[in-house]
Structure 1
Amino acid sequence: MFSSHRTRSNLRVFGGSSHPQLTSAVAKKVGVRVGLTKLAKFANQETQVELKENVRGQDTYILQTGGGESPNDSLMELLFLINACKLSAAGEITVITPYYPYSKGDQKAGHRVPIASKLVADMIHKAGATYIMMLDPHTPQLEGFFNGPVDALLVEPLFCDWIRHMIPNWEQCVVVSPDEGAVKKSVSVANDLNLDFALIHNRLKASREEIRPKRYASYQGHFSNQLMIGRPIRSRMASNESEEANDDDPQNDVGICIKERIRQPSSSKSDAGIGCLSGSVNGRHVIMIDDMLDTGKTLRFAMEVLEREGAASVHFLATHGLFSAGCVDVVKSYDQDFLKAVVVTNSIPQDEVKKLLPSLHIIDVAGLIAEFVRRHHYRESVSVLSQFMPIRDEHQPDLVPERLASLRLAEGQVSGLIPDEGTSSAFEPSDALEDPIDEDTQGEQLADRQLMKIRKGFRLSSVCWD
């Protein structure tokens, strides 16, 4: 059993080849150097991994993201790094995957397909991982695929901070979800900033011409006789000939079982579906939130709907920027006066995309990950990193002034962290401490949510150990 005494000297940070810049930035903010490893390929292109320093009994963190240029190689490299640490008697192994590999394979998309995300989770656990941390999982069920603890951090606080500082007159904007899958994230941002919300959803078209009788050839045998009681039994050939000859004859009811609604394949894009908007964006500036920007199909569809509905401009924010399958061309196809900005985090390397899209905005998540490492190493709560931080309408009175006064007296007077009058930023430079609302009272009333403005904060952009 290893010692429970934890200092910075018994912490190790390793990284794979998928995102060395992020690994270096996290290690620098944490206050340690990146662990020495040998990452190479054998002559037959198999992955080679070797640790070049001692990890016995150390609290070990391995940072490897998916979605890069070689996601399969990155995954194998991650598994080998985990197993190398396990076989080297590392104390605890925490895997940090800013973008979880194979995130979209979280359910069966057909009858004969694997659930890839679950399989990857099993391999990571089998390799020897103790804890898992990821940023903005594609779907909530990803957390349930693991047999151990999982921390899924959200980047909504970083999005809100960027919006407040980079979008002029953001108070007049409306937050839009591009599809049903991004509703929860979009609503969180809208509630945090006290903005209006709208939803884009896809509805398939259906017309009366699509309703036609479905005919089945009669079958001989006991099962067929039960279905066709009171009707003449014909051979398969005779039934098919009769159906072909009299398909349009309304009097011919041989083999007609039921009438079904059958959707015919659409020959045009407009026939395939139509975007419906729940909410109003006419003449307003839009902030669109999603978890990833992959092929750009969702973005294109949402932009067509917003243009049709009369939106003034669009800022698109996504956590993970994969930019695959011509997504860069999709972004370039829109006028910068309408698509004002595309914002992603550096959970995936964006160096090459930045060269193609100079207007791309990148939010750094190194501070968020470094603060997670610090809190996890010292066994502090990490829930505060993704805590909901609504902004109160200063024109409205406090819903529970007694509660606010007691919190200011009990928390602010001791720590000296009470914001000045009129301050609305949730990112106050201070020591990383717990939420002032204790566990017994959290979630009791919506009014308590309004008090998180005065919570003890921290700098996500530059975490310091000193």
Structure 2
Amino acid sequence: MRNTLIFAGSSCPGLTDAICSNLGMASASVELSKFANGETSVKILTSIREKDVFVVQSGSSKINDSIMELLILISACKGGSANKITAVLPYFPYSRQSKKKSHRGAITARMLANLLHVAGINHVITIDLHASQMQGFFKCPVDNLHAEPLIARWIRHNVPNWREAVCVSKNAGGTKRVTSLADALKLNFGMVTTDRKRGAVPMTSSMIMNGLDGTGDDLDLNSDVSKLHISERSGHGHRREPSKLQLDTEDIEDQEPEDNSPEVTTPPRPARVEVAQSPRHAPNNPSPLKKSHGVTTPTRSPLHRAETMPARLPQLDDDPEYTDERAREVIHGRLVQGHIVPDDYPSPTQSAMSTSMILERPEDDPMEISRASSFFNPDRLGGSADAAASSDEEEEGFNNPETEQMITLVGNVRDRTVFIVDDMIDKAGSWIAAAETVVKRGGAKKVYCIATHGLFGGNSLEEMEDCDCIDAIVVTNSFPIPMERSRAAKKLVILDLSNLLSEAIRRNHYGESISALFQHVVD
């Protein structure tokens, strides 16, 4: 490609060389070094004036050094009068910090997008952002490519009997990604969820409010509603005696005179039963009254309408959808330190969110009492909280030997191959727990752990390698994995992204559409 230069960062030189080889060109000359105090130095050794420049740099184990090197390299290209600067980021750094996880948290992914804009970026090419909404952080166009077609192609060529497999999400937040792959392969899908609040359930805000409103009282809908009289309250909270014109609800409507006669036969007043006033009959919205032939009567109560409705519960017995087979697809298990344990395994000393954690409150400081209560628990942020916990939050309970968790498998995986899919593998706890659940509880035959980005923090790769329930670990080369670790892992399979990225660079340079890169091509 004419007037095009591709610069390789220090994080993924092998991937950059493969991209340049596919495009039939060599990477541009650049000198990357550090001063004695650790500062990054970048020196471009070729002319970049009016050239189309692509900088390939991914996240790595030295993530902050990679970011500073990328920013300095972009700034140097901008100062060298480059025509267009495109950052190729196979793994976007800090992508998991794309939202506030606490009241004083930082949206670091947005800050990094602003830094790239200030450095002089004109375009961004990345693969499988942790949250696709992150594209709105940038002030330049973003091409968020997907590794799903590459993964689906590998499955079709390398997994025996893949048509009978099941795609499983290891948490509720990854269901959209899993269902997308399941739809592409025309497979069934399931989900594994971990309950971090197993044990004694604390009193929540809804329980408190229901108790204050009086809505928690049990009402017998099968009682004779014609003998039920709901007393009204005045605006100041004082109870008013019923008027002489307030007659029985059911009898007065059933005995309306047909000849417009002023005489109305009034049945004897039944015994009055006072019931706590519900929010639907609040003082500012009194019970509606109905005028009929000069007599004001209350309308039928909601309880009477509920009683006169035809019963539909017996019809459920004839419905084939509600069978025991569907209930068998939900399987529960116990987790202690991230591993499945038998049902008769002794329970730890405390369970997650136990009552002892709530009752142990300081008696002096009222603020500490409020902070310790479940009503003001920071884990319950109301509408700002997420439906699913992040990977780091899932790992918290796995490290505590005194915490027991409950894990639930939804879906039938018995005697089938299971694909556990997510966007990245950082820690091994949630992956091992999901694999043990589908094998030991669900009865699966084989388990493939599939992700786009293989971060493998700490000893997670070795832990997954030692797990007997995991048969293969499939990732791409978006994140550099040391050669010695990849060779020692016999279950690890690394897919090459160079063809996808090189085609994206070529189409971007010539102004062609990249829609074809999102399509699944069946060989």
TM-score by length of 1: 0.69
Name the CA distance, whole Å, in 2 between partners of 1:269 and 1:308.
Answer: 22
Give, as a single letter, the amino acid of the residue that structure 1 aligns with 2:37. N
Matched residue, 1:419: none
Residue type of the alignment partner of 2:137 = F
Provide the rounded CA distance (Å) in 2 between the counterparts of 1:110 and 1:209: 23
Any conservation in 1 of the 2:8–2:57 contact (CA below 8 Å)? yes
Residue of structure 1 aligned with 2:474, choices 343, 346, 367? 343
Aligned position for 1:21? 14
Q: Which amino acid aligns with 2:478?
A: S
Which residue number in structure 2 is paired with residue 227 of structure 1? none
State how far apart, in whole Å, the 2-side matches of 1:297 and 1:204 are.
14
CA distance in structure 2 between the partners assigned to 1:124 and 1:209 by the alignment: 46
Task: State how far apart, in whole Å, the 1-side matches of 2:47 and 2:476 are.
Answer: 33
1:431: which partner in 2?
A: none
Work out the CA distance in 2 between the residues paired with 1:379 and 1:282.
49
> CA offsets per residue over residues 184-227 of structure 1, 9 Å max, x none?
22111111111111111223445557459999xxxxxxxxxxxx
The 3-state SS of whatever aligns with 1:23 is helix
Asked if residue 302 in structure 1 is aligned to residue 295 in structure 2, the reply is no
Please give the alpha-carbon distance, in whole angstroms, between the structure 1 residues aligned to 2:37 and 2:188. Answer: 56
Q: Deviations over 1:441-462 (max 9, x none)?
A: xxxxxxxxxxxxxxxxxxxxxx
Whole-Å Cα distance in 2 between the matches of residues 322 and 296 of structure 1? 11
CA distance in 2, matches of 1:317, 1:49: 36
Going from structure 1 to structure 2, the CA distance change for 1:206 and 1:291 (only over 3 Å counts) comes to closer
The answer to whether residue 139 in structure 2 is matched with residue 147 in structure 1 is yes
**In 2, Cα distance between the equivalents of 1:308 and 1:122?**
47
Of residues 38, 44, 51, the one that matches 1:45 is 38
Secondary structure of the equivalent of 1:96?
A: strand
Output the amino acid matched with 1:126: V
User: CA contact under 8 A between 1:205 and 1:272: conserved in structure 2?
Assistant: no
For the 8 Å contact 1:13–1:27, the answer to whether it is kept is yes
Partner of 1:118: 110
Alpha-carbon RMSD:
2.9
CA contact (8 A) 2:422 2:451 kept: yes
Aligned CA distance change for structure 1 residues 205 and 41 (closer, same or farther; 3 Å): closer
Q: Could you say which residue in structure 2 is the equivalent of 1:274? A: 406
Q: Any conservation in 2 of the 1:328–1:356 contact (CA below 8 Å)? A: no
User: Does structure 1 residue 129 correspond to structure 2 residue 146?
Assistant: no
Structure 2 counterpart of 1:314, one-letter code: V
How is 1:42-121 mapped onto 2 (pairs within 5 angstroms)? 42-66=35-59, 68-121=60-113
Counterpart in the other structure of 1:379: 511
Distance in 2, matches of 1:208 and 1:344, equals 39
Match of 2:2 in 1: 9
- Which residue number corresponds to residue 490 of structure 2? 358
Match of 2:100, SS state, is: coil
Aligned match of 1:239: none
**Pairwise mapping of residues 411-426 of structure 1 onto structure 2 (< 5 A)?**
426=522
Give the whole-Å Cα distance in 2 for the aligned partners of 1:79 and 1:137: 19
Identity %: 37
Report the secondary structure of 2:11's partner residue: coil
CA distance in 2, matches of 1:139, 1:36: 34
**C-alpha contact (below 8 Å) 1:99/1:135 kept by paired residues:** yes
Amino acid at match of 1:177: S
CA distance in 1, matches of 2:189, 2:402: 26
Q: Is the 8 A contact 2:172 2:191 kept in 1?
A: yes
Equivalent residue, structure 2, for 1:3: none
1:325 pairs with 2:458: yes
- Offset of 1:305 from its aligned partner? 2.0
Q: How does 1:98-247 map to 2 (within 5 A)?
A: 98-207=90-199, 210-211=202-203
Give the structure, 1 or 2, with the largest relative contact order (CA under 8 Å, sep 6 or more).
2
The answer on whether the counterparts of 1:177 and 1:290 sit within 8 Å (CA) in structure 2 is yes
State the Cα distance separating 1:24 from its structure 2 match. 0.6
**Matches of 1:368 and 1:43 in 2, distance apart?**
38
- Contact persistence 2:145–2:518 (CA under 8 A): yes
SS in 2 for 1:133: strand
1:296-316 CA deviation, whole Å, 9 max, x = no partner?
Answer: 122122123213222221011
- Aligned residues of 2:171 and 2:192 also touching (Cα < 8 A): yes
CA contact (8 A) 1:98 1:135 kept: yes
**Letter of the 1:315 counterpart:** Y
Post-superposition offset of 1:144 = 1.2
- In structure 2, relative to structure 1, the CA distance for the partners of 1:277 and 1:54 (3 Å cut) is same
Cα separation, partners in 2 of 1:354 and 1:212, compared to 1, 3 Å: closer
Q: 2 CA distance for matches of 1:90 and 1:262?
A: 54
Q: Give the drift of 1:333.
A: 2.5
* Stretches of structure 1 lacking an aligned partner (at least 5 in a row): 1-7, 216-242, 248-254, 390-424, 428-466
Q: Distance in 1 between matches of 2:121 and 2:21?
A: 23
Query: What SS does the corresponding residue of 1:289 show, helix, strand or coil?
Result: strand
How far apart, CA to CA, are the structure 2 residues paired with 1:355 and 1:208? 47
Distance across 2 between alignment mates of 1:209 and 1:176:
28
**Contact 1:316/1:342, CA 8 A, preserved across alignment:** yes
**Corresponding letter in the other structure for 2:455:** L
Structure 2 CA distance, aligned partners of 1:101 and 1:330? Answer: 24
Instruction: Write the deviation string for residues 25-57 of structure 1: whole angstroms up to 9, x where unpaired.
Output: 101111211000010011221000011001111
Q: Distance in 2 between matches of 1:269 and 1:309?
A: 25
Aligned counterparts of 1:303 and 1:9: Cα–Cα separation in 2: 49
Aligned partners of 2:132, 2:160: CA distance in 1, in Å? 33
The one-letter code sitting in structure 2 at the alignment partner of 1:9 is R
Distance (Å, rounded) in 1 between the aligned partners of 2:100 and 2:197: 26
SS of structure 2 residue aligned to 1:273 = strand
SS in 2 for 1:137: coil
> Cα distance, 1:356 vs. partner?
2.8
Structure 2: gaps (5+ residues): 209-358, 364-368, 380-395
Using the alignment, how far apart are the partners of 1:141 and 1:99 within structure 2? 16
Q: 2:112 corresponds to which letter in structure 1?
A: V
User: How far apart are the structure 2 equivalents of 1:208 and 1:63?
Assistant: 51
Note if contact 1:288-1:315 (Cα within 8 Å) is conserved in structure 2: yes
Question: Is the contact between residue 156 and residue 185 of structure 1 (CA under 8 Å) also seen in structure 2?
Answer: no
Supply the AA of the counterpart residue of 1:345. T
SS in 1 for 2:87: strand
**Inter-CA distance 211–128: structure 2 relative to 1 (3 Å threshold):** closer
